[in-house]
Amino acid sequence: MTKSHCIIGFLGSDSIHKNDQFKFPFEKIEPAVSTLTHILYGPAFLSSSNSLTPPHPDDIDSNNKEGTYRKVTALKKLNPQLKVLLSVGRRDYDETRTEQYVNFLANEKARAGFIEDALQIVKKYGFDGIDLAWEFPRYRKNPIMSFISSVLGGENVVKSNFSIFVRELKEKFGDLIVTVTALPNQKYIEDFYDVPAIQPFVQYIIVSTYDYCTPKDNPLTADFSAPLYTPKNRKQSVDVSVSKWRSAGVQDNKLVIGLPTFGRSWVLGDNMVTFKSVKVENQEPPFNANGPTPPGKRTGVEGQVALVGARERLSNPSNVHLVGSDAPLQEFTNHAYEHGTYAINTNISGGDFISYETPESATCKAEYVQKKGLAGIALFNIELDDYNGEKYVVKYPLLNAVSKQFRL
């Protein structure tokens, strides 16, 4: 456990209920339970009738069979201080679905019905509260927000409605916990979060401080995906996001930063220069790229690899003989992990590039939280850490690095 900081682990229902090699065996979460202060399980979502729907049918009890909801909350037996929340909202981004989430907020009757439904589920399965990872529209000339601006009065209406929703939820939930999980960018804050209005009703505001550069959004540019400090000639980083949320009014003791347990990976462009074995400043990212790598180990998602998937690409006895695009990657970082760690083919053009966290970079982010007086760190997602200790001495090396630093 920690002295005072929270360590939150998001646990994805989809990983548990997969029926392929990407499935996360539920019992593998147990070694992490004693270290975590909170588990956020989900995400549940809004049905077409605005009711709270589980991520998977097997999450709820049926035919005398215990659902995963009950198994997750039963983890508190292993750690009586653990809080387990049901996360609601953001899944794989779907712009058409965000319209429903926005319209829901404007419907007082729908809000009341959802809150009552959510309260019953939380109490039935023994959750300690709920996390709102609400699906707001993203910004690329979004037609939904253009419609809202022209007809309903603009983004301030959505912001106000969300604040009302958070207040109504907390008033009904009483002593149960409410948290909010949000994207990091300033436009998102300005248009959807009235921080002074929602802050009294939430325990934490969890900011997803990662994916500043991804193969999906930036297919032609491979770069650090979750830098702690802003690299030269870039505008985004964990530190910038923290500053923006602080400026919006978030209290330090309620602000939680996110730590990705996965890496983002690109196929580099054919016009890449051949790398030398020794890193020099002008060889650091960004690099030209040709889109995402194939689906990664434990994720099944293009351009995304779990920690184990990133580490196994480094030189080891099983791959040292490989050549070309399958050749081992070489790992680079700067001395204080300000920007993060990356691995790259140094001897060919058109190889792979992976930006990812290591225990050392996780330690630096935990130290940053301590220096800034922030509330803690949330791992997205806990099941993508090295839960078997395949590539590290300990199981859950990123989680343990954070916990170790917080104990100092």
Give one DSSP letter per residue of 5-32, joined into a string.
-EEEEEEEHHHHT--STT---GGGGHHH
**Model confidence pLDDT, tens digit, residues 146-197:** 455 444 555 589 999 999 999 999 999 999 999 999 999 888 899 999 999 9
CB 287 within 8 Å of CB 264: no
Phi, psi of 339 (to 5 degrees): -110, -20
Say yes or no to pLDDT of 278 above 50.
no
pLDDT value at residue 68: 97
Per-residue pLDDT, averaged over 84-99, amounts to: 79
* DSSP 8-state secondary structure symbol assigned to residue 181: E
Looking at residue 39, its amino acid is I
More confident residue, 122 or 3: 122
Cα–Cα distance list, 329 to 307, 333, 347 (Å): 14, 13, 9
Residue 169 lies in a domain: yes
Q: Residue 39, by phi and psi: left (phi above 0), alpha (psi -120 to 50) or beta?
A: beta
Looking at residue 308, its amino acid is V
CATH of the domain at 19: 3.20.20.80
Residues comprising the chain, all counted: 408
3-state SS assignment for residue 268 = strand
3-state SS assignment for residue 62 = strand
Give the chain's domain count. Answer: 1
**% of the chain residues with pLDDT over 90:** 67
Residue 218 domain boundaries: 6-261+357-406
pLDDT value at residue 294: 92
Say yes or no to pLDDT of 144 above 60.
no
Number of H helices, E strands in the chain: 13, 16
Per-residue pLDDT, averaged over 362-370, amounts to: 98
Going by pLDDT thresholds of 50, 70 and 90, the confidence category of residue 124 is: very high
| Top mean-pLDDT range of 91-100, 174-183, 262-271 | 174-183
Going by pLDDT thresholds of 50, 70 and 90, the confidence category of residue 91 is: low
Instruction: Show the CA angle centred on residue 236, arms to residues 233 and 242, nearest 5°.
Output: 140
CA atoms within 13 A on the CB side of 84: 24
Residue 272 lies in a domain: no
3-state SS assignment for residue 69 = helix
Residue 276 lies in a domain: no
Residue 296 lies in a domain: no
Residue 294 lies in a domain: no
Going by pLDDT thresholds of 50, 70 and 90, the confidence category of residue 92 is: low
Residue 154 lies in a domain: yes
> Lowest-pLDDT range, 15-19, 47-51, 139-143, 337-341?
139-143
Say yes or no to pLDDT of 96 above 80.
no
Say yes or no to pLDDT of 4 above 70.
yes
CA distance 365 to 402: 8
Q: Residue 118, by phi and psi: left (phi above 0), alpha (psi -120 to 50) or beta?
A: alpha
pLDDT value at residue 154: 54
Q: Are strands 352-356 and 341-344 parallel, antiparallel or unpaired?
A: antiparallel
Instruction: Round the average pLDDT of the chain to a whole number and report it.
Output: 89
pLDDT value at residue 165: 98
CA distance 396 to 180: 25
pLDDT value at residue 272: 54
Residue 226 lies in a domain: yes
CA distance 229 to 232: 10
Residue 133 corresponds to which tokens in the numbers above? 């990872």
pLDDT value at residue 149: 47
Going by pLDDT thresholds of 50, 70 and 90, the confidence category of residue 114 is: very high
CA distance 96 to 102: 11
More confident residue, 331 or 401: 401
Q: What is the pTM of this model?
A: 0.92
CA distance 12 to 223: 26
Going by pLDDT thresholds of 50, 70 and 90, the confidence category of residue 408 is: confident
Q: Are strands 83-89 and 52-53 parallel, antiparallel or unpaired?
A: unpaired
Residue 257 lies in a domain: yes
pLDDT value at residue 90: 67
More confident residue, 112 or 268: 112
CA distance 181 to 72: 20
Say yes or no to pLDDT of 72 above 90.
yes
CA distance 57 to 126: 18
Looking at residue 38, its amino acid is H
Count of beta carbons in the 10 Å neighbourhood of residue 35: 20
Which position has the token pair 């953001």? Answer: 90
